[in-house]
A and B are shown apart, each in its own frame.
Chain A
């Protein structure tokens, strides 16, 4: 009798437990880099995901050497399910089959429509990554200094953008040496400049932006050749180098001003303008609060057409995932603009969906007082919407190798010891080799 009771009891327990057993617990792994603040925002986003879907997420946080770690894990077949990936290697990895197609996620209805300019495409035309944030390049300037010099601010509308010549003119008026003289004036001392007009950060994106503005880019129109040594590109590189060596309005690589953070530049008045990326708003906002500096933004000067390159780290789904559907769901959550609003309001990111650039109600959700300056709407939002050209990272896997060749080659051009034409001719063979190797690898 007792025995029967025991058996019945266990059977009952078993039956009660069955539904729980049937529900398989899935845990996804998500990886990213970033600082402690970003880590916290992601952690709460992931917690929300778990709450709403019941899928657990293990967060793999890698503060440094992200690529090394991912590559090592890839070799051991231990890649996470979803995660960030550095722009330069996305297409390369995708072409080797390391990333899965994100298109089902984009079409699922869980994500707001993403701009095409932020999609990473592999050689088969699949969308393998979508930027979590759009980032563009523009002129950051110090309005206080402009007021002091009595010079009108850089234009904030693309239609009013400066031509390169107008830009150089303004730069000359902004630059002063320790005696208050401008370049071109008698007695101008180029070795003792007090304030430079402009400096450029993050050269790869800045160069790209100006290349696009001059109707060229890293690659030729058909996408099968290198354009870096063609006249249009050489013209851009030489013009930029001339800012340093001929016009004396930009600090050279070794100049103290060149090595300062944007906020330090404005604080000490060593540069009036800095050409850099959207992500700076977060730190500039903090600096404004801590040090009382002022900043605003304007559009880039142009050669033929006002253009900026745009970029943005993507979220991807890795090859080794055993839960493709769930991984897509997680990816779409991260891509969802609402989900990552904290990053956007802090000034670090910009949305990647067109409606956020056009719909007034949504725009007001995102613009924050004290972070986004007066001309942000025109010089950044409209600028990113209408005048952008995707960086080569989105569609090519060989960009890193090209950059490792042409950017060092330009060091001497910027120092004034070599012309841009000679420098590019010098690496022409190497650039072509990279291209042909790359095209061969796509077969």
Chain B
């Protein structure tokens, strides 16, 4: 046989084997994805499409739906009294709370990850508690702590000789106050950081030590990259969660003072269920969707590239 024939005989099975493998992998992929696929198609996007359609009508939940084109969107962007204030408040809260919450969660996780710490179980549980206290109870508690006259916070400030604040009772300090409250309930991201930190190989950290690097060096060069997948996750979820915030303003401030905490989710809820303007509310929801998708894309584009995964993907 000639060399070509031999090589062609050798080559073909490999290629065929490779594509069979690829096909098997694809089949496996879809099989494993099947439950999620079904959920996405029937439970999620069916509803998305429906709500997109509704946003182009003047549907009032139980009335007939008349097609009105982009009227809802235009009205929201140009005429709605609450829209722009709401978007501003939501953006301020979302980004504020991401920064505050992630920093707090990471800091606590790092502290709790210290090698020589005793009572880890106790502390980890303790710091997780705020995030599972029922919203009703914690909202009430925070209203008490925020009270300008007798609340815990102003009491501390007074003791330290610092100026006091009106917290949630004044327009300018309302959103920052809620951001503070969100940082307190950072139990869930903290737990995820702990899981991520647990997977940082000590051998890598030792290697940096041997090279003469200190705590900061270890942090920047090893820890951060190794936990970047969960850092990425927590940041993205933090932004999304911040945009979707509802309960705190609904229970504590009712959107006030003077609509300073009238977040978009609250506005959607009000338009849909109290004013019965379901088409209008859907349009608002889709504007939020576009805005959030934009930010998500940016986070994926810029942050996503820097994430270090253990696999060679």
* Interface pair A408/B256, CB less than 8 Å apart: yes
Q: Contacts A253-B257, A411-B258, A430-B81 known; A92 to B276 CB distance under 8 Å?
A: yes
Is A405 among interface residues, defined by CB-CB distance under 8 A?
yes
Q: Contacts A254-B166, A254-B169 known; A408 to B259 CB distance under 8 Å?
A: yes
Is A367 among interface residues, defined by CB-CB distance under 8 A?
no
Enumerate chain A residues within 8 angstroms of B258, measured Cβ to Cβ: 408-409, 411-412
* Interface pair B61/A255, CB less than 8 Å apart: no
Candidate in A88, A400, A409, A415 with the most chain B CB atoms within 10 angstroms: A415
Enumerate chain A residues within 8 angstroms of B257, measured Cβ to Cβ: 253, 408, 411-412, 415
Q: How far is the CB of A9 from chain B (nearest CB, A)?
A: 52
Interface of B is mostly: loop
Q: Contacts A68-B273, A254-B148, A405-B81 known; A415 to B255 CB distance under 8 Å?
A: no
- The answer for the CA separation of A255 and B170 in the assembled complex, in Å, is 12
Is B84 among interface residues, defined by CB-CB distance under 8 A?
no
Is B12 among interface residues, defined by CB-CB distance under 8 A?
no
Binding site for A on B (CB under 8 A): 60-63, 81, 143, 147-151, 166-167, 169-171, 255-259, 269-270, 272-276
- The answer for the CA separation of A88 and B81 in the assembled complex, in Å, is 21
Q: How far is the CB of B89 from chain A (nearest CB, A)?
A: 12
* Interface pair A67/B274, CB less than 8 Å apart: yes
Q: How far is the CB of B257 from chain A (nearest CB, A)?
A: 4
* Interface pair A71/B170, CB less than 8 Å apart: no
Enumerate chain A residues within 8 angstroms of B167, measured Cβ to Cβ: 254
- The answer for the CA separation of A256 and B166 in the assembled complex, in Å, is 11
Enumerate chain B residues within 8 angstroms of A186, measured Cβ to Cβ: none
* Interface pair A254/B170, CB less than 8 Å apart: yes
* Interface pair B63/A96, CB less than 8 Å apart: yes
Q: How far is the CB of B63 from chain A (nearest CB, A)?
A: 6
Is A401 among interface residues, defined by CB-CB distance under 8 A?
yes
Known: A71-B61, A259-B143. 20 other contacts (CB 8 A): A75-B62, A89-B274, A89-B276, A92-B276, A93-B276, A98-B62, A254-B166, A255-B148, A256-B149, A256-B151, A408-B255, A408-B257, A409-B258, A411-B171, A411-B256, A411-B258, A412-B171, A412-B258, A415-B257, A427-B81
Enumerate chain B residues within 8 angstroms of A93, measured Cβ to Cβ: 276
Candidate in B269, B270, B276 with the most chain A CB atoms within 10 angstroms: B276
Q: Which of A48-101 contact B (CB under 8 A)?
A: 67-68, 71, 74-75, 88-89, 92-93, 96, 98
Is A404 among interface residues, defined by CB-CB distance under 8 A?
yes
Enumerate chain A residues within 8 angstroms of B171, measured Cβ to Cβ: 411-412
Total interface residues in chain A, CB < 8 Å: 28
- The answer for the CA separation of A405 and B61 in the assembled complex, in Å, is 23
* Interface pair A254/B147, CB less than 8 Å apart: yes
- The answer for the CA separation of A89 and B274 in the assembled complex, in Å, is 7
- The answer for the CA separation of A256 and B143 in the assembled complex, in Å, is 10
Q: Contacts A96-B62, A254-B170, A259-B143 known; A67 to B273 CB distance under 8 Å?
A: yes
Q: How far is the CB of A215 from chain B (nearest CB, A)?
A: 28
Nearest chain B residue, comparing its CB with the CB of A398: B275
Enumerate chain B residues within 8 angstroms of A96, measured Cβ to Cβ: 60, 62-63, 276
- Binary per-residue interface labels of chain A (251-267) against chain B in the complex, 1 for a CB within 8 Å, 0 otherwise: 01111100100000000
Q: Which of A363-422 contact B (CB under 8 A)?
A: 400-401, 404-405, 408-409, 411-412, 415
19 A-B pairs within 8 Å (CB atoms) are namely: A67-B274, A71-B62, A71-B273, A74-B61, A89-B274, A96-B62, A96-B276, A98-B62, A253-B169, A253-B257, A254-B148, A254-B166, A254-B169, A256-B147, A400-B275, A405-B81, A408-B257, A411-B256, A412-B258
* Interface pair A256/B274, CB less than 8 Å apart: no
* Interface pair A401/B275, CB less than 8 Å apart: yes
- The answer for the CA separation of A255 and B270 in the assembled complex, in Å, is 28
- The answer for the CA separation of A401 and B82 in the assembled complex, in Å, is 12
Q: How far is the CB of B169 from chain A (nearest CB, A)?
A: 3
Nearest chain A residue, comparing its CB with the CB of B148: A254
- The answer for the CA separation of A254 and B149 in the assembled complex, in Å, is 8
* A-B CB proximity, top 4 nearest: A254-B169, A256-B149, A411-B258, A411-B257
Enumerate chain B residues within 8 angstroms of A415, measured Cβ to Cβ: 170, 257
Enumerate chain A residues within 8 angstroms of B273, measured Cβ to Cβ: 67-68, 71
